Structure 1
Amino acid sequence: MTQTVKIGKLAMLLASLDESERELFIDAFEQVEYCQGKAGSMEVQKVIAAVETAAKRNGIISEHVYRETHALYHAILESLQGVTRGQIGVGNMMRTVGLRFAVVRGKPYDRSEEGEWIAVAFYGTIGAPVKGLEHETFGLGINHI
């Protein structure tokens, strides 16, 4: 199976590039559906809700199809594992995040039987809730729909 669209790579690019930088890659995004957003909080639930809301509002997933919400949720959790270095916790561990995120939906395989997949990427900062004490972080999660 040859991958035709690298949805994880595209999600990482979208999460990490600013608007002017993104313009350089605009042709790469024509084969997928995507959305972007920002989330900053000491509560993981708020980060999850921001991604889910953006994906629904932008038509990346249907709120009426459970398997799509379920796939997105697992991709978010996997991506948060990377952001938080395996311990999905923020405020309860006295840390906060300021993240940009991207959700990308596409067909990464040549064979149609493989169906659609969804990728979630986060890029931003994590650290103590004191300005200037945070560091960069990145996370990527991919799940089949």
Structure 2
Amino acid sequence: MIHCSSIGKTALLIAMADGSETEAYVSRAREKGFDVVTGKVGSMDVQKIIAAVETAAKREGLTDDSYRSQHALYHAILDALQGLGRGPLQLGNILRTVGLRFAIVRGPRTLEDMDDLWIAVSMYGMIGAPIKGHEHEVCGLGINHL
């Protein structure tokens, strides 16, 4: 298993993992002190993707009601979406859809720098026309200081 040494690498590995591999990465990340939430979302609507990630983070206690916490998560999501869309993400209005796995990881930026708290959002999946076989892989990562 690859060493989960930074928040970004950890988030990406978890989002890109399949099946039982996902749980192994999540367990390893938690052993290292990271808080982790995973999920899936598919949509032609960017707002639904944002809502799915925000809801998962809130439901599992990775964010609280403070403005700072919500704002950091929101910007990490936007940065991850920028990676998916190779710039500002447009979906339904240009007949594009995504099917994604996502990971939200909260913890230190690196395992050597344990005094800071960060949040990372990674997304991995498929993007393309809403026709089977007309899609390709994408990934995105956003990291923000809490």
Per the normalisation by structure 1, the TM-score is: 0.90
Query: In the alignment, is the contact (CA less than 8 A) between 2:120 and 2:141 conserved in 1?
Result: yes
Note the C-alpha offset of 1:111. Answer: 6.1
In structure 2, runs of 5+ residues without a counterpart are none
2:58 corresponding residue in structure 1:
56
2:98 corresponding residue in structure 1:
97
Note the C-alpha offset of 1:24. Answer: 4.0
- 1:66-145 aligned at under 5 Å gives the runs 66-109=67-110, 110=113, 112=115, 115-145=116-146
**% identical aligned pairs:** 58
In structure 2, give the amino acid aligned to 1:85: R
Partner Cα distance (1:20, 1:95) in 2: 30
Partner Cα distance (2:46, 2:70) in 1: 17
2:30 corresponding residue in structure 1:
29
CA distance 1:111–1:22, change in 2 (3 Å): closer
Query: In the alignment, is the contact (CA less than 8 A) between 1:5 and 1:107 conserved in 2?
Result: no
1:12 aligns with 2:12: yes
Note the C-alpha offset of 1:23. Answer: 4.3
2:40 corresponding residue in structure 1:
38
Paired residues, number: 139
What SS does structure 2 have at the residue aligned with 1:87? coil
Note the C-alpha offset of 1:5. Answer: 4.3
In structure 2, give the amino acid aligned to 1:45: Q
Query: In the alignment, is the contact (CA less than 8 A) between 2:44 and 2:91 conserved in 1?
Result: yes
Per the normalisation by structure 2, the TM-score is: 0.89
Partner Cα distance (1:95, 1:11) in 2: 25
In structure 1, runs of 5+ residues without a counterpart are none
